[in-house]
Amino acid sequence: MGKEISKNAQMPGWGAIKRKRRKAVLLVLACVVVMVSGILLFLQVQNEAKRQGQADATRLATNQTQAAQTTEARTNATSTSQYQLFATVQAQQQATSQAFIVTAQTQQAVTAATATANSLAANPNPYVPGQGRSVYLSPLTGDSEGDSAWMPPDGEPSVCVFKNRALYAYRIPCEFKPTAGDAFKNFTLEVKMTLLSGNYGGVMFRYKRSPNTAYILGIDSRNGCTLWFDQFGKHPSTAISRQSCPSFHQGSENTIGLVAQGSAISWFINGQLSGSVSDTLSDAAGTISLVAGNYSNSQTQEEPNCAFRDFKLWNLD
């Protein structure tokens, strides 16, 4: 019995040990719980901080984008305003330039009209009253302004010469060339002519080197007026009109007038209408020449020779 009591007396010590162990376990568990809670809290705080950082970054990016858009909008507005200002200035400059051009053109038109009116007033067209622009006026004395416009054929200067205060034409036409390429289609001319020798004297007009054709008005020593269309050797000349011109005075100076306007051709001798035709063989513009010649069937041995003075020309175009 004494031994059993001794064993039972030792029991309270084991219970204490067991209680201590339970306390230690609980303490460890509490520490684990605290640690896990701390880790969870840390992770939560970290995630919250990360979300906050992302939100801040998003707001910053949005603000930067909005600021950039605002700046771009202001830049675009400024550029648009500057472009509109430039366009306005350019439009004003163009308008001013166009107004200046219109004004200059108007002034030119007024100047031309005034010149035409003054020319007509100073040198009226006696054959088509109130029409035409005076483009040439010369006494044909050889020393007058514009006399150099009369050209002899190439290589034959002796057949078209100024002497005795007049222009003399021998055999071959004296061509009028005020400037290179000048040609006349609708015009009025007047010239004083003295037939000195040969069959006829007169005017060649609407001459074209290609196809080498022209009209010729010849006034002859038998008081006849002939208008023909010449193709210069390619085909026989075509006589358009032959008639008497009683107002022509052989051996004296006669005033010859010629009007060519479209197909209508009229000529005047000493102020009197001597012939008028309508012809369409050629209505092209061409040069004008003063001529002296013999008919192809003439028996005369005289060299044709005419003296011309006081040439006047009006352009009807």
Domain shared by 92 and 149, yes or no:
no
Instruction: List Cβ neighbours of 264 (8 Å cut-off, separation of 6 or more).
Output: 276, 277, 278
Residue 125 domain flag:
no
Domain shared by 25 and 147, yes or no:
no
pLDDT at site 54 = 73
Domain shared by 166 and 306, yes or no:
yes
CA 234 – CA 296 distance, rounded (Å): 15
Query: Which residues span the domain enclosing 207?
Result: 133-315
- Of the three residues 98, 122, 151, the one that is the final residue of a domain is 98
DSSP 216: E
pLDDT at site 160 = 86
Instruction: List Cβ neighbours of 277 (8 Å cut-off, separation of 6 or more).
Output: 227, 240, 241, 264, 265, 266
Residue 105 domain flag:
no
Residue 7 domain flag:
no
The total number of structural domains in the chain stands at: 2
- Of the three residues 47, 76, 98, the one that is the final residue of a domain is 98
Domain shared by 188 and 286, yes or no:
yes
pLDDT at site 109 = 60
Residue 282 domain flag:
yes
Question: Tens digit of pLDDT for each residue in 18-44?
Answer: 777 777 778 777 777 777 777 777 777
Residue 3 domain flag:
no
Token digits for 85? 């200002």
pLDDT at site 59 = 76
237 has a pLDDT exceeding 50: yes
pLDDT at site 29 = 79
pLDDT at site 12 = 53
8 has a pLDDT exceeding 50: no
Threshold 0.85, pTM exceeds: no
Residue 242 domain flag:
yes
Q: Is the model more confident about 266 or about 45?
A: 266
Residue 79 φ then ψ, to 5°: -65, -45
Q: Are 250 and 223 in contact (CB under 8 A)?
A: yes
What is the average pLDDT score of the chain?
A: 80
Question: Tens digit of pLDDT for each residue in 71-85?
Answer: 665 666 555 556 565
Q: Is the model more confident about 298 or about 280?
A: 280
Cα torsion 251, 253, 254, 255 to 10°: value is: 170
